Structure 1
Amino acid sequence: MTAAEAAADLAGGIIRPLFRSGLLVEAKGDASPVTEADRAAERALRAFLTERFPTHGIMGEEYGTERGDAEYLWVLDPIDGTRAFLTGRPLFGTLIGLLHKGQPVLGLIDQPVTRERWIGVAGQPTRFTSPMGGTAACRPCASLATAELSCTSPDIFDAAGTARFDRVRQAARRVTWGGDCYAYGLIALGLVDAVVEGTLKPWDWAALVPVIEGAGGRMTDWQGQALTLHSKGEVIAVGDAALLPEIVSLLS
């Protein structure tokens, strides 16, 4: 946990000065924007973690996987929510996850501008720190009819996924778009009840699982099964486990 926090501090020191500044932007193969902030932060994270844990593997969005068969695998997304970052909205975060034999055991969401940080460790309560105060604890919500549902964008689904997601959306009390990893942090604070998304990569979800579950929630694939490196990237996160069967049924 100490190393993950030190790594987040390091990344935050790189990202903050570049927020709302003029940046060179490229288009990746998937057309998502990349900035020097992404790359510089991931390079720093990789160097730091490799020095501290030379036998551990590292998987990152920008620079791929090293020692992917290692018992411990760090999974990094230096800026989850690059579009929010580029448009000056503090709804992005640095994600640092640690898998042990493929299972998420540590996760950190860091919002370097607002200085909010969620830290989850398997088997322990999630810890939240913020200048504004607050405590990580999901809230009860047993029905979609009373649920605040969130999703980054309707564009993340293919046609079949859109039809399936729409059944969940129509059953929910209200839907909020945008937020990327920040929306999952809001589940852990008891402000959002569910997130349903598709096409996520391991660096998008690995850090989130310990945070959500340490705050009392659940995070699975669309079949209600545990997420693994072989999952399709279809993700459900709920603050109240009682919501999960209803969402899985609507998605099936």
Structure 2
Amino acid sequence: MKEGSMNTLNEFDLLIYNTAVEAAMKAGELIKTQYHEFIAVETEFAHDLKLDIDRKAEKAIIDIIESHYSDHSIITEEDGIKVKSGEYCWIIDPLDGSVNYYYGLPYFCTCIACYKISPASVSRLAEGKKMGNPGEPVAGVVFSPVSSELYTAFKGKGAFRNGVRLSADTKRKLSEVIVIMSTGSTPDIINKSLCIANKFALCARKVRMFGATGLDIVNVASGTAGVFIQKGTNLWDFAASRVILEEAGGEIKYIETDAGKWDVVASNPAISGEVDEILKSCGFYED
């Protein structure tokens, strides 16, 4: 089924959707132009990198959003949080999978989401406090510039990859699916994640770690994978792909463990209960 349902959006909603698509593709194409070229590193951590291209891509996204909306808040990975008076908020990860990008692994993406979030909730996050509720999803876009795959969703209108409707797998058992995980970037989370990976390696078809949360979750939305698990991730890492997954019929749990930090579990509905039981046995929900 093609993406015809987006044609039924009203003018206001259609502009939000088109803005998200335009901004994601603009940033993705900018990122692609420097792929395999000299890549400037802004900040280097033990298990992560911040690149100059992250900031350039983010600016391109913000310029497009602000050309249409002056009262929408913005939460970004690089420049932080802009609190505005409106009820809409844009959540941006200009380059999800920066380490992959730097080392030439073709698994990275741009993630853009629009949510309804009260300015008070955005302000709490800006002050270093827990949000409590990440808000109501409106639109989500994930763009993979290497494969030219554009994943899109609007609340109540379905999820699509390059215009073709997505559907999460609802039939396979846990023993028949791929489980995707991220190990995180801190020693504590890495150790806990590897213990969880060991559990799932014994009962799933395979466990894989790819390194770009946005793409990982849309792989669950498309039925390519059955489960995604990550501890201590950021709102911008999963906000866009959450919309796509839910519109594709998948399930997602997100638990705020600290200000701006979330534990996330995405799965197909057929195995969510079994996944939960395994995670409980690993102490996943005890932080």
TM category, shorter? 0.7 to 0.9
Moved more, 147-156 or 185-194: 147-156
Aligned match of 2:233: 200
Q: CA deviation at 1:114?
A: 1.6
Residue of 51, 56, 63 corresponding to 1:35? 51
Tell me the TM-score normalised to structure 1 length. 0.87
Q: Which moved more, 1:153-162 or 1:180-189?
A: 153-162
1:167 is aligned with what amino acid? Answer: K
The reply to whether residue 243 of structure 1 matches residue 274 of structure 2 is no
Give 1:139's match in structure 2, choosing from 143, 150, 169: 169
> Which residue identity is paired with 1:87?
Y
Asked if 1:25 is matched to 2:41, the reply is: yes
Superposed counterparts of 1:108-119, under 5 Å? 108-119=141-152
Q: C-alpha separation between the residues in 1 aligned to 2:53 and 2:143? A: 15
Question: Helix, strand or coil for the counterpart of 2:146?
Answer: coil
Aligned to 1:233: 262
Check 1:159–1:93 CA distance in 2 against 1; reply closer, same or farther (3 A cut): same
SS of residue matched to 2:64:
helix
1:11-160 alignment to 2 at 5 Å? 11-28=27-44, 32-67=48-83, 70-101=86-117, 102-129=135-162, 135-153=165-183, 157-160=189-192
Segment drifting more, 55-64 vs 174-183 = 174-183
**CA 1:73 to 1:85, structure 2 compared with 1: closer, same or farther past 3 Å?**
same
CA distance in 1, matches of 2:246, 2:51: 31
Q: Give the equivalent residue in structure 2 for 1:9.
A: 25
| Distance change in 2, residues 1:34/1:160 (3 Å) | closer
Unaligned runs of 5+ in 1: none
Q: Which moved more, 1:91-100 or 1:175-184?
A: 175-184
Name the count of aligned residue pairs.
244
Does the aligned pair in 2 maintain the 1:202–1:229 contact within 8 Å?
no
Q: Per-residue CA shift, 1:30-55, capped at 9, x if unaligned?
A: 75212221000101111221221111
State how far apart, in whole Å, the 1-side matches of 2:158 and 2:166 are. Answer: 8
Unaligned runs of 5+ in 2: 1-16, 118-134, 281-287
Q: Which residue of 1 aligns with 2:198?
A: 166
Q: Is the 8 A contact 1:168 1:251 kept in 2?
A: no
> Which residue of 1 is the match for residue 246 of structure 2?
213
| Residue identity in the other structure for 1:250 | I
Q: Are the equivalent residues in 1 in contact too, given 2:77–2:92 (CA < 8 A)?
A: yes
Deviations 1:170-214 (A, max 9, x none): 322211121412222222222111111111100001111111111
Asked if the contact 1:153/1:178 (under 8 Å) is kept, the reply is no
TM-score (norm 2): 0.77
SS of corresponding position for 2:215: helix
Distance (whole Å) between structure 2 residues aligned to residue 154 and residue 67 of structure 1: 28
1:143-181: CA deviation from partner (whole Å, max 9, x where unpaired): 322221111347662444543453334322211121412
Structure 1 residues 112, 173: CA separation in 2 closer, same or farther (over 3 Å shift)? Answer: same
C-alpha distance in 1 between matches for 2:44 and 2:85:
26
Partners of 2:73 and 2:88 within 8 A in 1: yes
2:179 aligned partner, one-letter code: L
For residues 254 and 25 of structure 2, what CA distance do their matches in structure 1 show?
31
